[in-house]
């Protein structure tokens, strides 16, 4: 049984995640999340009208096993690169003594479980603390790791979105209702913002935060590595979605990547479990048109490979680890 002081430390990790945000900003965040979820449910309901579900299941059955295997390999690549988020964060805070296998375990269990229940900012730090505390990391260490892994996520997402919009500036016009030239300007602004941050960290070591929670930012070369890892993570996941979409739909790869990242960010902002409803609505609206049944079939297969399977595996790993530690503590 976990002692009360341990859970008090765990709750402190959650509290530290809120250090930078005011109550007013958090309130705005809740309103935005609810608005995104509500609009997405309305849009998804409209997108699913007159869908032939027999054809959807038929398209699933017709999907080639080799295609599913390739998508699964890309999903594994995405989650493999995800484990490097924690490793980079550990090296940034100077904890070179923590081996990769522990970083990989913390990363692979925290992300699928937290994303699956729809509370990444609350659940992921708790899971990380439960794993890292056995290896000498404290509350502030875990809070810094959570912040730095989030930084890697956003740097990779924004860079990949900017690059994909340069290749297909009209890709998300059905989602953001902005004309192609404006989306192209948005892509340039995103890339310039990432470049400015890279330049800022390259010149000298940077620190942000408060006296209570000082955060050491990674150096410029490490930021560049963060961007590369983030692009690999998102790129592999988007490619997994791309290979599942039938070639007959004639959907370009840059469009898939741009819509996929936009859908991921909207799902993340909504805080719904696995972005359910929000992610799906964005995919169907952004990539929709003819052959909706085939697209829905590809989306369902992707959901199983990318969200359901990792969630079940991560839950089993974390539950097994907690059970083993509890039995060991009793002995």
Give me the mean pLDDT over the 288-300 stretch: 82
CA distances for 256 relative to 52, 277, 283, 284, angstroms: 23, 18, 9, 11
pLDDT-derived band at 16 (thresholds 50, 70, 90) equals: low
CA distances for 144 relative to 206, 284, 330, angstroms: 14, 36, 31
Q: Answer whether residue 83 shows pLDDT above 60.
A: yes
Among 14-18, 66-70, 104-108, 312-316, the least confident range:
14-18
What are the structure tokens assigned to 95, written together? 């904890």
pLDDT-derived band at 1 (thresholds 50, 70, 90) equals: very low
Residue 255's closest CA among 303, 295, 220?
295
| Digit-coded pLDDT (tens) for 174-197 | 777 788 889 899 999 999 999 999
Distance (Å, rounded) from C-alpha 216 to C-alpha 107? 20
Helix (H, G, I), strand (E, B) or coil at 97: coil
202-237: buried (b, 16+ CB within 10 Å) or exposed (e) per residue? eeeebeebeeebebebbbbebbebbbebbbbbbbbb
Q: Answer whether residue 302 shows pLDDT above 80.
A: yes
CA distances for 78 relative to 22, 70, 306, angstroms: 34, 12, 9
Q: What is the DSSP string of 285-313?
A: HHH-SS-HHHHHHHHHHHHIIIIIHHHHH
| Digit-coded pLDDT (tens) for 33-42 | 566 556 656 5
For residue 32, the model assigns a pLDDT of: 55
Distance (Å, rounded) from C-alpha 73 to C-alpha 191? 29
| Digit-coded pLDDT (tens) for 207-230 | 776 777 777 888 888 889 989 998
pLDDT-derived band at 4 (thresholds 50, 70, 90) equals: very low
For residue 175, the model assigns a pLDDT of: 77
254-281: buried (b, 16+ CB within 10 Å) or exposed (e) per residue? bbbbbbbbbbbbbbbbbbbbbbbbbbbb
Distance (Å, rounded) from C-alpha 110 to C-alpha 131? 10
Q: Answer whether residue 13 shows pLDDT above 60.
A: no
| Digit-coded pLDDT (tens) for 129-176 | 989 988 888 888 888 898 888 888 889 889 988 888 888 888 888 777
Which stretches does DSSP call E strand in 36-140? none
Among 196-200, 266-270, 283-287, the least confident range:
266-270
Please check whether residue 172 is in contact with residue 180, taking contact to mean a CB–CB distance below 8 angstroms.
no
Distance (Å, rounded) from C-alpha 76 to C-alpha 68? 12
pLDDT-derived band at 324 (thresholds 50, 70, 90) equals: confident
For residue 2, the model assigns a pLDDT of: 47
Kindly state the percentage of the chain with pLDDT values over 70: 84
HSE, side-chain direction, 13 A CA sphere, residue 165: 28
């Amino acid at each position: 049984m976990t002692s009360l002081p341990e859970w008090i430390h765990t709750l402190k990790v959650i509290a530290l995640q809120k250090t930078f945000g005011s109550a007013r900003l958090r309130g705005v965040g809740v309103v935005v999340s609810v608005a995104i979820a509500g609009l997405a449910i309305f849009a998804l309901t409209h997108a699913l009208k007159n869908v032939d579900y027999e054809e959807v299941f038929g398209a699933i059955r017709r999907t080639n096993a080799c295609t599913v295997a390739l998508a699964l390999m890309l999903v594994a690549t995405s989650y493999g690169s995800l484990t490097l988020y924690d490793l980079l964060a550990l090296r940034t805070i100077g904890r070179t003594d923590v081996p990769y296998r522990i970083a990989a375990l913390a990363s692979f269990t925290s992300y699928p479980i937290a994303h699956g229940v729809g509370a990444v900012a609350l659940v992921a730090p708790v899971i990380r603390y439960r794993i890292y505390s056995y290896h000498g990391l404290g509350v502030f260490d875990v809070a810094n790791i959570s912040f730095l892994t989030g930084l890697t996520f956003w740097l990779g997402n924004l860079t990949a979105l900017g690059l994909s919009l340069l290749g297909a500036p009209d890709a998300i016009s059905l989602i953001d209702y902005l004309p192609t030239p404006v989306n192209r300007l948005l892509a340039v602004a995103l890339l310039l913002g990432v470049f400015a941050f890279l330049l800022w960290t390259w010149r000298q070591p940077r620190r942000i935060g408060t006296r209570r929670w000082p955060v050491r930012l990674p150096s410029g070369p490490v930021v560049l590595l963060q961007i590369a890892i983030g692009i690999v993570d998102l790129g592999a996941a988007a490619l997994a979605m791309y290979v599942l979409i039938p070639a007959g739909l004639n959907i370009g790869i840059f469009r898939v990547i741009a819509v996929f990242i936009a859908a991921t960010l909207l799902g993340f902002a909504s805080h719904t479990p696995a972005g359910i409803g929000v992610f799906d609505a964005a995919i169907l609206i952004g990539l929709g048109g003819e052959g909706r049944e085939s697209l829905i079939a590809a989306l369902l297969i992707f959901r199983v490979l990318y969200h359901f399977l990792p969630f079940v595996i991560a839950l089993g790993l974390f539950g097994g680890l907690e059970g083993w530690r509890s039995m060991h503590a009793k002995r």
